[in-house]
Amino acid sequence: MSEFKTIIYEKRGNVAWITLNRPDKLNAQNTEMRRELIRALEDAWKDDNVRVVVITGAGRAFSAGADISEFPILTPADLVKRAEIIRPYELIRNMPKPVIAAVNGLALGGGCELAMSCDIVIASEDAQFGQPEVRVGVIPGGGGTQILPRLVGEKIAKEMIFTGKFISAQEAYRLGMINKVVPREKLMEEVNNMVNELLKQSPIILAFAKMAVNKALETTLTEGLKCEVDLFRLCFSTEDQKELSKAFLEKKPPAIKGR
Ligand code: COA
């Protein structure tokens, strides 16, 4: 879709690829990029042929966060009106399909939040993560104060958010923020391996699994377990559940339909 200026949006097979494309500004997210991201994510959500989404960055950064050049003129009233500030993160989290972040370099501020909102994060070993918003007079606004403590615990999250210091991809892996760290030249190979693993699964069952795990981050254990059992039961209403269990028992490859 060539109408985008700040991202590249491509569909290949069952995969939608979104590349943040302002490399000269380290893929800082300005209003136009956020609006384009929303359009691309909404399209990927609606398109039944798209079963996995991958987000990456052009150049040496994944994204250096919000475009600070817009900050001096923004007012609280502007921010109330601008749903696009957090909408991309909400779309990624709620979309009933897996979204992979292929973190090719710096993931700071909104870039770190964008990666954290994805279901699976694979980073190159030269990537760095951080929430440096305090250094420009704000706090994280795309989920950083809520998601990061859930991933790494309160103390590490507060240290990162209070100091703005960056951590290496290896450290992010050790802390449980990301799934995998690979040499830069292997990043896309590893992402493709993950994509292929996900494409083998039933999309409807993956959607239920994503809903159930998301629930774990936002509710009590009792409510979460209730949600899980409801979704578990719902699996039995799908054709894929019948097909997958039958194929296992008959030792045959399954014919997944996605319903
Ligand atoms: N918003 C707007 N522009 C940004 C940006 C951001 N978040 N991050 C980087 N850029 C721009 C720089 O202004 C520079 O533009 P210029 O060449 O027109 O001057 C270009 O991207 C390259 O960045 P530069 O700072 O020269 O690269 P560096 O390697 O020396 O430093 C960083 C990289 C990431 C450490 C540094 O750019 C930085 O601290 N960026 C801000 C990160 C941040 O605070 N994000 C949270 C925002 S709320």
Reported as a single tens digit per residue, the pLDDT across 122-180 is: 999 999 999 999 999 999 999 999 999 999 999 999 999 999 999 999 999 999 999 99
Q: With a 6 A CB cut-off, is 135 part of the ligand 1 pocket?
A: yes
User: What pLDDT, on the 0 to 100 scale, is given for residue 80?
Assistant: 83
Nearest-angstrom CA–CA distance, 39 and 139 = 26
Q: Ligand 1 atom 32: the closest Cα is on which residue? A: 64
pLDDT > 80? residue 232: yes
Q: Ligand 1 atom 44: the closest Cα is on which residue? A: 132
Mean pLDDT of 213-230: 96
Which residues carry out catalysis?
Answer: 113, 133
| Percentage above 70 pLDDT, the chain | 99
* Edge-to-edge order in the sheet of strand 61-63: 61-63, 106-108, 128-130, 167-168
**8 Å CB contact between 99 and 122:** no
Distance 106 CA to ligand 1 centre (A): 10
Nearest-angstrom CA–CA distance, 90 and 50 = 18
**8 Å CB contact between 35 and 70:** no
> What is the phi/psi pair of residue 132, to 5°?
-90, 20
Q: With a 6 A CB cut-off, is 142 part of the ligand 1 pocket?
A: no
Residue 82 CA, chain-centre distance (Å), reads 21
Q: With a 6 A CB cut-off, is 112 part of the ligand 1 pocket?
A: no
On whether the 203-250 domain is CATH 1.10.12, my answer is: yes
Q: For residue 22, give every residue at least 6 positions away whose Cβ sits within 8 Å of its Cβ, in sequence order, or none.
A: 6, 28, 30, 33, 58
The 3-state secondary structure of 43-67 reads: HHHHCCCCCEEEEEECCCEEECCEC
For the domain 7-199, what is the CATH code? 3.90.226.10
Sequence spans of domains, the chain:
7-199, 203-250
Q: Give the model's confidence band at 78: pLDDT under 50 very low, under 70 low, under 90 confident, else very high.
A: confident
44 closest CA partner among 2, 11, 86 = 11
Reported as a single tens digit per residue, the pLDDT across 188-210 is: 999 999 999 999 999 999 999 99
Reported as a single tens digit per residue, the pLDDT across 60-74 is: 999 999 999 999 988
Reported as a single tens digit per residue, the pLDDT across 32-49 is: 999 999 999 999 999 999
Q: Give the model's confidence band at 2: pLDDT under 50 very low, under 70 low, under 90 confident, else very high.
A: low
Nearest-angstrom CA–CA distance, 100 and 54 = 5
Q: Give the model's confidence band at 116: pLDDT under 50 very low, under 70 low, under 90 confident, else very high.
A: very high
